């Protein structure tokens, strides 16, 4: 799974889940060249099946897209948490979106499991929330991911 440094953003003014999905679509388009419209539609379609807010302020929206040859990610830290219909009813301020090729199969599920395990670590999430620099956030999450994968 790939997370480019330019796919990590700190967002000041997102007010809703739909706005966040639009931000994630813009990030995916800028970092990976996918269609923003298709990314947003796919995220919202997946979200309609059931909320991807996994609890403790973390959401893992994900979708399959044409034009990708590997699983890629986009990470956002929201300065103001938003309602996300999360399992624990807590507002979300960390969202890690995964975009997978249409036929990704197991690779998509493996990436989702890895990100989920990584972001279940309360001290890691606290460290991320204490930082407002995208480059630092990228380093924190990629080092943690490498440790998880080992």
Asked about 108 being catalytic, the answer comes back as no
CB-count exposure of residue 45 (10 Å: 0-12, 13-18, 19+)? exposed
Measured CA distances, 145 to 15, 26, 106, 113 (Å): 29, 24, 18, 11
Rounded CA separation 78/66 (Å): 28
Q: How many CA atoms lie within 13 A of 84 on its CB side?
A: 29
Active-site hit among 56, 62, 108, 138: 62
Residues forming the active site? 62
């Amino acid at each position: 799974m790939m997370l480019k440094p330019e796919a990590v953003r700190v967002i000041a003014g997102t007010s809703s889940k739909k706005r966040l999905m639009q931000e994630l679509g813009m990030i995916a388009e800028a970092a990976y060249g996918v269609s923003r419209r298709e990314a947003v539609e796919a995220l919202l379609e997946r979200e309609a099946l059931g909320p991807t807010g996994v609890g403790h302020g973390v959401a893992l929206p994900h979708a399959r897209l044409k034009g990708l040859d590997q699983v890629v990610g986009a990470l956002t830290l929201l300065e103001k948490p938003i309602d996300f219909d999360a399992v624990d009813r807590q507002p979300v301020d960390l969202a890690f979106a995964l975009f997978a090729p249409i036929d990704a199969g197991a690779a998509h599920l493996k990436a989702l499991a890895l990100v989920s395990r990584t972001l279940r670590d309360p001290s890691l999430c606290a460290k991320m929330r204490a930082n407002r620099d995208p480059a630092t956030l990228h380093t924190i999450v990629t080092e943690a991911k490498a440790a998880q994968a080992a």
